Structure 1
Amino acid sequence: MQRRTLLAATAALAAPALVPALAQPAWPNRPIRLIIPFPPGGTTDILARYIGPPLSAALGQSVVIENRTGGAGTVGALETMRAPPDGHTICITISTLITTALLSRQPYHPVNDVTPILHLANVANILVVNKALPVHSVAELIAYGRANPGKLSYGSPGIGTSVHLSGEMFKQATGIDMVHVPYRGGGPALADLVGGQLQLIFGNASSTLPFVRGDQVRALAVTAATRQSYAPELPTIAEAAIPGFAVAEWYAVIGPAGIPAPVTARLNREILAIVGTQEGRARLLDMGSEIVGGTPEEFGAFLRADMARTEALVRSTGIRME
């Protein structure tokens, strides 16, 4: 009798501990929302639509891509951070996550309010001009800009993006008076460049390369520190005219703060498996992207360091919300 009583008491004590474990649903147990903070046609959208189908197959759930645009990516970022931290909402974001937070009052912290999942890739920008503009090199562009102050307009996917930073750094280094025209994404800006509403853009390689290869725009140089294998004929801006000039944009996967570590690790592993294959690396390289990879912890450390670097860059260029 005493033994039965002891067993019953032990079971009663263990039962509450078992309930939470049994109540935890398997992950994922419903479709994954993959938020893209820019319109279709830009680099983030291209990456998402490449990753989405194989990620769906790996997880056994649909991956639903949602373009939530506006505020240079802040609308999509905020949508992500407000989602439950259960791993069913993730976002492919870019460097502007940090930059726009430094330039304006945003209702979130770009490091503390996110779960770092994967540093996906780095993408350089390509300086391209409308084909009607009578310039064929960076030196000729600088000479034209100095001779025609205020007559050059350059577009960007939004204030604080690497495309915008490239333009502002170019203005600062050359003394050219150029007008910045922010758009809701890289796709619309490139369309206006082809149409003649803009004269130039420092477009992300991933979304700009098809326009270069289609002979719709004229490429002058890349913003990276070294020449890029996808367009080795293009000089860097540093070697062409401005020593030390170097800008690249990072692309990453994040979620709302508080996603369980096992879920974060699984997402990191599955997405890296998609882009890390020989085919995946070749596909992204063809888009102008270089795979970075690494662990969620490494990406978290990178985020903190990049916030410090970006803050210094914003101060030195004097960039502000327009």
Structure 2
Amino acid sequence: MKSSIKHRVARSARSIAIAIAIAVAGVATLHTIPTALAADAWPAKPIKVIVPYTPGGSTDTVSRVVFEQVSQRLGQPIIIENKPGANSTLGVGVAARSAPDGYTFVSVLAAYSANMSLYSKLSYKPADLVPVAEMAELPLFLFASKKLPVKTVAELVDYGKKHPDTLTFGSSGVGSSAHLTGERLAMESRLRLTHVPYNGSAPILPALVSGEVSVAFDPLLVPMPHVKSGKINVLAVASAKRWPGEPNIPTMEEAGFPGFVMSSWTGLLAPAGTPQPIVARMAREIAAATRSPDVAKKLTELGFVPVGGTPEAFRKLIERDTRRYAEIVKAGKITLD
């Protein structure tokens, strides 16, 4: 009798254990199903991409070109919403506080990395956002006024050393990629370059033509026709490779500055917690869009290099430039607070 009771107790215990295991597995499955279903069903409605700059700028232009193609591929409208202010931190902060449901993203420039050092306090933390993909690289070219008797970087350095305190460099604003690239040139060449910040890129060209500023790092598109017409000079490009459309322009490395690669870039971020399958899908669609002949042609004509990389590659780029800009900001004692 005792043996029979023991067997019944044992069978009962095993039954209870099996029931508990099934229940636990069921609960786990219930927790995973919504995420999986959300990723499979995505996108089920229009997607919003915040651009933290005014319409017509580099980030806005790239976003509109790329996401027109991505929208067609996903079969849903992608709405570009411009939220400029505070060197892009306003719009980025809005994105960081948005629901991580795969329907809100934010396009950023390399300034996103620089802002980590330029501000002592931001309304968001790096952990509040996750990288999706780099969309395009924006090479910066070193342009010089015709008022300056130089045609190469070596001649610029020589002139600056012979005429101290006379050289100035323009930028699209304090903390911009152009500003920090100019500061790096001053540091590595040991020249005294006075920074002249402007409200955006538009005023830089007339300042170069008139001689109001000596040099400036700027994208190719707007200044290059004035190089062709003989109004300004171009000395180098701060990218790893020469620009395919202008193969005679040397890189800064070739001009005697090893490791001087300071191109800007634009890429996409998502609020932290956005389902990984959605992040991966968006990255794939961006890569496909930037590889399409139509988008690649448009971006190249605008002075961009199409990229379309992975979330991991974009994360490494952001971390690298965050370190690089932090060194320049610290050495130059630059702040936006």
Aligning the two structures, in what range does the TM-score lie when normalised by the shorter sequence? 0.7 to 0.9
Gaps of 5+ in 2: 1-22
Q: Letter of the 1:86 partner, please give it.
A: D
Residue 312 of structure 2 aligns with which residue? 297
Residue 195 of structure 2 aligns with which residue? 180
Shifted more, 89-98 versus 179-188: the winner is 179-188
Identity fraction in percent: 34
Relative distance call for 1:140 and 1:304 in structure 2 (3 A) is closer
Q: Letter of the 1:47 partner, please give it.
A: V
1:237 counterpart SS class = coil
Distance of 2:230 and 2:56 partners within structure 1:
18
Residue 218 of structure 1 aligns with which residue? 233
Q: How does 1:84-99 map to 2 (within 5 A)?
A: 84-99=99-114
Distance of 1:212 and 1:41 partners within structure 2:
23
Query: Do 1:156 and 1:163's aligned partners in 2 also have CA atoms closer than 8 Å?
Result: yes
Query: Do 1:100 and 1:159's aligned partners in 2 also have CA atoms closer than 8 Å?
Result: no
Distance of 1:195 and 1:220 partners within structure 2:
18
Distance of 2:194 and 2:267 partners within structure 1:
29
2:48 counterpart SS class = strand
Residue 7 of structure 1 aligns with which residue? none
Residue 61 of structure 2 aligns with which residue? 46
Relative distance call for 1:294 and 1:139 in structure 2 (3 A) is closer
Relative distance call for 1:244 and 1:321 in structure 2 (3 A) is same
Q: TM-score, normalised by structure 1?
A: 0.78
Distance of 1:238 and 1:250 partners within structure 2:
19
Is 1:57 the equivalent of 2:57? Answer: no
Q: How does 1:1-322 map to 2 (within 5 A)?
A: 21=34, 27-108=42-123, 111-190=126-205, 192-193=207-208, 197-205=212-220, 209=224, 212=227, 217-315=232-330, 317-321=331-335
Distance of 2:100 and 2:225 partners within structure 1:
37
Relative distance call for 1:295 and 1:163 in structure 2 (3 A) is same
2:126 counterpart SS class = coil
Relative distance call for 1:96 and 1:57 in structure 2 (3 A) is same
How much is the aligned-residue C-alpha RMSD, in angstroms?
3.5
Deviation digits for residues 127-184 of structure 1, max 9, x if unmatched?
0124444433223333443455444432223334332221011111233322223345
1:294 CA displacement: 3.2
Q: TM-score, normalised by structure 2?
A: 0.75
- Residue correspondences, number: 308
Structure showing greater radius of gyration is 2
2:139 counterpart SS class = strand
Gaps of 5+ in 1: 1-9
Relative distance call for 1:70 and 1:213 in structure 2 (3 A) is farther
Distance of 1:38 and 1:214 partners within structure 2:
31
Query: Do 1:118 and 1:296's aligned partners in 2 also have CA atoms closer than 8 Å?
Result: yes
1:28 CA displacement: 3.5
Query: Do 1:27 and 1:263's aligned partners in 2 also have CA atoms closer than 8 Å?
Result: yes
Distance of 1:102 and 1:121 partners within structure 2:
23
Relative distance call for 1:262 and 1:209 in structure 2 (3 A) is farther
Residue 4 of structure 2 aligns with which residue? none
Relative distance call for 1:132 and 1:50 in structure 2 (3 A) is farther
Shifted more, 251-260 versus 192-201: the winner is 192-201
1:243 CA displacement: 4.3
Query: Do 1:32 and 1:88's aligned partners in 2 also have CA atoms closer than 8 Å?
Result: yes
Distance of 2:209 and 2:55 partners within structure 1:
17
Shifted more, 109-118 versus 211-220: the winner is 211-220
